Amino acid sequence: MPFFAPWRKPQAESRPLSEIYKDEESVCRELKFLQQFSGLKNIASYYGAYYRAPLTECSSELLEIVLEYCGGGSLYNLISKTNDQSLKENWIGYVCKEVLKGLHHIHKNRAVHKDIKSPNIMLTETAKVKIIDFGHSWDLDPQTGLCDEAEGTPHWMAPEAIRQKGQRLAFDTKCDIWSLGIIAIEMAEGKAPYAGQYPVEDLIIEAQPPKLQSNRWSQHFVSFLECCLKKDPSERWSAEELRQHPFVTQLPPKKIVRAEIEEHLRTLQNLPAKKGLKVVALWTLKQLRHAYDFCTQPSAEQEAALQMALEGVSCYCLVANTINSPERVS
């Protein structure tokens, strides 16, 4: 039987009703994007969502979301566990190339992720790159092609998204490109620019675009970052344009780079060498107070079908609001 982590219902008086409804809206929006983008190579696959009854009288009804399991852990963990916290340039180029593929699909569908950061980039055991966490994602306005809902994680947020907070200023998909540039620096230097400095939002808005501190990196890498980190989003390259940049087009064969990263992951995590193990993730998100078309209490037949699908599967639990790192639970 798979493990289900309980999410305890908060005290009714501890949170305003408007906040509870906002959470419900956010979760349903995330499920919508998971459904829309599931099956794309560089986005974690979504297998379904359903309610599970409370495990005890003291616990709450759970919304269970079944996602593709990424056994290599998050990019954040890969960086933090690597010696000197600096990845090889070819690895950085490979990750950027794969993330750009995912962003290209998202942006082509007139949506913006808004929370591209190293904890939200996952690796499978074979070093495939997957984007996760669409909790802040938003559809672009069909007429203007813009978004005016600023959310995200400050160190990775674009200047225009930070300026928008509280001012209802619009921005577009280029905010995800800035975030990718920050991730690229993080992979090279072990931390995002301005890490440990506050207020980071003011630094991002007022300072010149961040650059690599060392001169050991190639000119292609430096140029790629300049294209990602232009303060004016109209001058910043799109995902489609960046996919043609020499930094990601002149890499060694993907098979070679992936094999290197895969071996490194196995060393870091002591992963078994055998392949082909069927694994999925069970990700407990939030309690919903109402039933929606795509996340309702399953029938007995649906429940039995899911249990049959999970037979022989190694189940892991990714708990919301934590660093995206897999924890073995069964």
Residues of 5-23 as b/e, b for ≥16 C-beta within 10 angstroms? Answer: bbbeeeeeeeeeeeebeeb
CA gap 20, 15 in Å, rounded: 7
Helix residue ranges, H only, 148-244: 159-164, 174-189, 200-206, 219-228, 239-242
Which of the 8 DSSP states describes residue 319? Answer: E
Are the beta carbons of 115 and 152 closer than 8 angstroms? yes
Which of the 8 DSSP states describes residue 160? Answer: H
> Could you say which of 23, 115, 133, 176 is catalytic?
115
SS3 (DSSP) at 243: coil
Interacting residues of 86 by C-beta distance below 8 A, sequence separation 6+: 187, 188, 189, 190
Of 268, 264, 259, 280, the residue nearest 330 (C-alpha): 280
Is 202 an active-site residue?
A: no
CA gap 104, 106 in Å, rounded: 6
CA gap 114, 318 in Å, rounded: 21
Catalytic residue annotation: 115
